[in-house]
Structure 1
Amino acid sequence: MCCKTLNRNYLSFLTQNIVYKYLYMRPILAEVVTIGDEILYGQITDTNTQWMSTELDKIGIKTVRKSSVGDQEDKILQILAEAESRADIILLTGGLGPTKDDITKKTLCKYFNDSLVINDDALGFITDFFTKRGRPMTELNRLQATIPSKSTYLANKTGTAPGMWFEKNGKIFVSMPGVPHEMKYLMSNEVIPRLKTFFETPIIYHKLIRTIGVGESFLAEKIENWEDNLPEHIKLAYLPSFGQVKLRLTAVGNDEEILRKDVDAEIEKVLPLIGSSVFGFDNDDLEVAIGKELKKKGLTVSVAESCTGGYISHLFTKVPGSSVYFMGSVVSYDNSVKINVLGVKEETILTHGAVSEETVIQMAEGVRKLLKTDFAIATSGVAGPDGGTAEKPVGTLWMACAMEGRTVARKVQMANQRDTNINYGSVVALNLLRKMLNGDYEN
């Protein structure tokens, strides 16, 4: 190798290291852009950006924005310029098919002042792809082997559209197919390994505290002083959902073990403030946490459902191994089933109605007796969007939990959104069971 080549390589090495040291001084930011009219029309659900952001987070890269743009050259050019102004990494998916409406490659050429060329590696792969399948390769298929000359070819071994890697002023642009399994292959096997080499990134460590039965604002008041005194490198976010709030602690640094210890220390401080509402951490769904407790104590549960229509049973049975503690359910949607199967008294329904404290208590006690379980939960309500009355408007939900010698009922009033009512009612019912398992029998 000649001296000029050695000097050129050495200068390139020094330049890269200077870039790395500069980038290491601050967080590495990414923007994810999906391309395609079908995304904007709502004809295809965008699942790519969520998955990509999760994978970037694992290597310490923070996604600052997700954008979608149609198949219009001027709009794509605009969003590329905007993304370059605020991110270090711009990841694109979509618009790489063989048809005329897929314009991503031509638009990238315009953005980088480049032209398309046949890539021999891409052409060889595509040719082999069709040969092995005994299918003829058309000219449109051949044109998929063209990529901008300034890009690096990323081999997509799950399809015919290649990935493309661009470097510009210390920033990275990557274009990938929009087909999820092709994008995931390229991200896992080409993009993530290259990004880890190109950038020195901090470690981002997350820990979720999962709470239930307390609203976001009330929770914030309880832990206000603790939150105000969190260390500078640990941030808190509130993630509310149906009857639940996740507290996400995010720590950023260079040593994962230290970050874990720091976060654990903060959790020890906050648990005495909110302990009764905490049911788990990280991926502990409510039904999983309850299942663990039932299994640990050797207890069983059954369900009687009216307005939730079997959804609680679904939550239980989707957990592997739930047959140890979940014995079964009765979906007593019609009053005749409540009366003839669960043993609800006809006069109870005539006097108080199917949606009432009295009925839901008898449902819970009836299914517990029928299926011979330690605990039972029941639901009855007006899920909507119609069927309500002045006394019991849509969204009126009753839940009960029964055990030997005690039954607890609770009423909640929701709105007229059926799916929301079913989801929320199921969460409230499960939380009644959780509390009774923990010895909290307050009505």
Structure 2
Amino acid sequence: MAPRRHLGPTPALMGLEALEEAGVTRCCVPSGDCLRAQQALNDNDHVLICLDDLRDTVRVTCNNDGCHSGRYMHRECFDQWEQTVLAYLKTCGRARSWSERQRHQNLWTKKGYDLAYKACACKCGRGHLKKDLDWMPPPPTSRIFGRLEDMDASKKKKRKSKPQRPSLSINTNGHGMGSEIRARAGSLSCSSTGSSSPPSSGSEPSVSPIHGHCKRKNKMELNERIRIGGGANGIFTRRLDFSSFNALPKNKLNSYQIKTEDEGNHGNDDTRCFILSTLASQGRSKVQCVLCEEQLLVFDRYPLVDGTFFLSPRQHAKSCIEVKVEGRTQFLTVVCMGCLEGVNGRGIACRFCNQKWDGSSLVLGTMYSYDIFAAMPCCTERIKCNSCYKPVLHPAQRLNFFSDYSHMVPCPHCRTLDTHFVKPLGFCYSRQMARALHVAWP
């Protein structure tokens, strides 16, 4: 009889260092058991995280230097745990007045984490966990896919057919080095196959993070950016990289500050379809910033623009596009990233209280369903009736939601029904623009 093979300790009994030497690690979710462990029971191959393929994981850091509980969670485990932390944040101090979106955006930044860290206790018992916003999943190693290619042939193939994936990169001193910031696994692929939303790509092959069978593009084609075929007459630009966001602070290069993926299945996102179909019907592949009048390219996937769209009941400029939303007339408007961030002297300030308008907290590349200028009244003049010029609200009163400031409300004095909080930009703001108004930013 053949000698019995020694199997060694099971993964459940192995230490973290031993597991990592074997190329795997455990999910370090602190609240309860790993979801995959509950589903898979004894299937350790399914439960353990393979260090050669971290695309479906989230990295966290513990402030205990001696922590040995692990650094990675399955995405579904992290999402469930994050909900418990958000529920705790909802009960904390100033976060009680935040909207759900604000809590989600601020949770892993200093603004929110300082309030919620007590709910982030690590399994080690001596530290607290925090999501690593600067981490990106490295590309899977070749052994995951069973490739047995010769090293020299592999290098040549990479040089010839390197996938042209969009990436959020930070250029360092003019060199091509950078770090790609990903929203979620697979969210930054060039296109989604099977998408029926406009514009759908009929001639441009999708780019998979695994198989990089993209045709080689010459430098001129890359500089001009690839025009997509198919839906919407192919007028929108295919974004090849995220270098235009390099000027943002490093802590904003994440999926909470920059919209990078569809909300719907297979790319059928209602917001994206609405914007692209509206612009396609008018033959517009570019839009104009309502503040500095800079021309902005519109892209076929998120982030849709280097700035943000919003809907307003008032036409702030001739470039704003009239649309019908739920039977109401609205105007599709855009503000560029430079004006939102107030860089190089760009920006606007209230004519009455001289407070500068700040749009740096808004998510880039998507659309807000309300007037973003009306949503943050800074003084009494901003809340006065458009007819009798008396305050519609008490100066200390605030409405529950940002969108409420864009709705029709009756004046308590003259009973006039109007969007009283949406003022003409020239009436309530003065420009603080740079000398060279139309110079590209940065």
Alignment TM-score > 0.5, same fold: no
TM-score by length of 1: 0.27
The structure where helix makes up a greater share of residues is 1
TM-score by length of 2: 0.27
User: Which of the two has higher C-alpha Rg?
Assistant: 1
